[in-house]
């Protein structure tokens, strides 16, 4: 029987053209006044998943 993918993971993770999985960094929602400009700028870039995370995400996203 085929496993179902996680709909929550599908909404949060994107697969790039090269096959890597990208997701957004955390801590960008509130209390932004206390964070530096550099820290907030780095949040905008997506973060690539490492090998261990990629194996898990491959199962979840489907």
Boundaries of domain holding 12: 7-61
Report the chain's mean pLDDT, rounded to a whole number: 90
CATH of the domain at 13: 4.10.410.60
Picking from 24, 5, 4, 6, the residue whose alpha carbon sits closest to that of residue 14 is 24
4 vs 35, residue with greater confidence: 35
The radius of gyration computed from the CA coordinates of the chain, to the nearest angstrom, equals: 14
With respect to residue 26, please indicate whether it lies within any of the assigned structural domains: yes
- Please say whether the beta carbons of 57 and 9 come within 8 A: yes
With respect to residue 13, please indicate whether it lies within any of the assigned structural domains: yes
Query: What's the whole-model pTM score?
Result: 0.71
Name the residue with tokens 């801590």. 27
With respect to residue 34, please indicate whether it lies within any of the assigned structural domains: yes
How many structural domains comprise the chain? Answer: 1
């Amino acid at each position: 029987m085929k496993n179902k993918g996680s709909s929550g993971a599908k909404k949060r993770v994107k697969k790039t053209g090269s096959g890597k999985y990208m997701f957004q960094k955390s801590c960008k929602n509130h209390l932004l006044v206390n964070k530096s400009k550099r820290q907030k700028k780095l949040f905008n870039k997506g973060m690539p998943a490492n090998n261990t995370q990629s194996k898990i995400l491959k199962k979840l996203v489907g």
